[in-house]
Amino acid sequence: MSEKLTFPTGFLWGGATAANQCEGAYDADGRGLANVDVVPIGKDRLPIITGQKKMFDFEDGYFYPAKEAIDMYHRFKEDIALFGEMGFKTYRLSIAWSRIFPKGDELEPNEAGLKFYEDLFKECHKYGIEPLVTITHFDCPMHLIEEYGGWRSRKMLEFYERLCRTLFTRYKGLVKYWLTFNEINMILHAPFMGAGLCFEEGENVEQVKYQAAHHELVASSIATKLAHEIDPENKVGCMLAAGQNYPNTAHPDDYWAAMKEDRENYFFIDVQSRGYYPNYAKKAWEREGITVEMTEEDLQLLKDYTVDFISFSYYSSRVASGDPAVTEQTEGNIFASLKNPYLESSEWGWQIDPLGLRITLNTIWDRYQKPMFIVENGLGAMDTPDENGYVADDYRIAYLAAHIKAMRDAINEDGVELWGYTTWGCIDLVSAGTGEMKKRYGFIYVDCDNEGKGTLKRSKKKSFDWYKEVIASNGASVE
């Protein structure tokens, strides 16, 4: 009988969250207001996320789920103990920028914020969990948006560099895996969340987006430079919202449409991984009349300080067509896509495609030949707990098992280099796309509804013990 295939020795199994979706305590211990705080649940959420509707502070008549979320700020020891019980090797989390610099442009950081994350990282190490830290997971202090216009301003480079220097210095020896920006390609689709952008009537929106993107790309190189200087053990990654684009048919126009969609997706990672702007992007800017202001020093930074590894989120593949008459769409993580008739969909219309993950892994590996890290993957579902808070989430287990097998095949049969895997929302949290709590991803159920009501009690789902066995067996238990 042949030995069961496993994952590489030292593979980093774990889970992922984001500060704005789980911490709550939005004004505790000196924390300042951030863009992620003022995005309400409901019909107005998406216009604010896309920057078309302005909301610079809390307004009457709205519920803002990030204000309290699941209150991990006060409960992180309980939550990390549960992650430790599952056997996590790594835990991906993010820094709330406005906890460290409440306004964003101060010269000195907020000690209470620094201490919170120091305590959290030490708690992780107590259980042998390596923190994987996203420096900016859509967070931007509101003061920087109101005063400077968010990432459209070059001044943001100074503020971000100060944040990074502070983090790398304070947490040297506690954190060695860093991500500069979460889903950096999301800036084109969710510019308020991605870069703190709001637009004026008549403004060249695409020009503003790409200028802001350039500033973030330069900031990413500055962070990589600093990280390596302060601690040579640091590993810095980029992060994109990934998912292969399939042509709708074998028609060459459809193949070309899919290729263009993929290029738009990989544009940012091309720069962060290769160190220069691709020609296809420059030509697109020429056609669209976009002029991105950049200096020779910027270009040198991009060239000299590329990332060490590539991380990405994967929830679904996508479909593209060159025929404007083909319009039937499905939902998916802000990205709209044509419907794929060969795939099943989740309760939120996200199409489920485990083989698409293997295809995506191979595409990224072939394109860059850099180590990869899957930092988001999971199934959002409406879990129904029993009276003890237990959820028999076999559907989640099936989803994750299929994707883990696809990863295993990509490693063992295709030879891709994959460092680790963190499932999204390892504990139930607020959905970034919808602001809902009922869209649950976790191994741990949190008693909280869409209106923020509930005890916040944590309880293990069926998937908790299943994932514990996956980690203990290094993936061999997945049939």
In the chain, the domains with their CATH numbers are 12-246+309-318+348-473 (3.20.20.80)
> Identity (one letter) of the amino acid at 114?
L
Percent of the chain with pLDDT over 70: 98
Tokens of 113: 């914020």
CA gap 479, 476 in Å, rounded: 7
| Active centre residues (catalytic) | 376
Tokens of 364: 């990224």
Q: Rounded to whole angstroms, how far apart are CA atoms 149 and 329? A: 33
Return the pLDDT at 3: 60
Q: How confident is the model at residue 326 (pLDDT cuts 50, 70, 90)?
A: confident
pLDDT at 174 over 60: yes
Rounded to 5°, the CA angle 431-394-242 comes to: 45
Token digits of residue 197: 């952008």
Confidence (pLDDT) at 30: 98
Residues 348-363, mean pLDDT to the nearest whole number: 95
Distances (CA, A) of 161 to 40, 95, 233: 30, 14, 19
- Residues with Cβ within 8 Å of 204's Cβ and at least 6 positions away in sequence, in order, are 289, 290
Predicted pLDDT at 337: 82
Can you give the pLDDT at residue 407? 98
Q: What is the pLDDT of residues 97-133, one digit of tens each?
A: 999 999 999 999 999 999 999 999 999 999 999 999 9
pLDDT at 332: 57
pLDDT greater than 80 at residue 462: yes
Q: Over 50: is that where the pLDDT of 198 sits?
A: yes
Task: In whole angstroms, give the CA distance from residue 105 to residue 169.
Answer: 18
Q: What is the pLDDT of residue 140?
A: 98
Residue type, 466: W
Whether pTM > 0.85 for this model: the answer is yes
Q: How many CB atoms lie within 10 A of CB 143?
A: 19
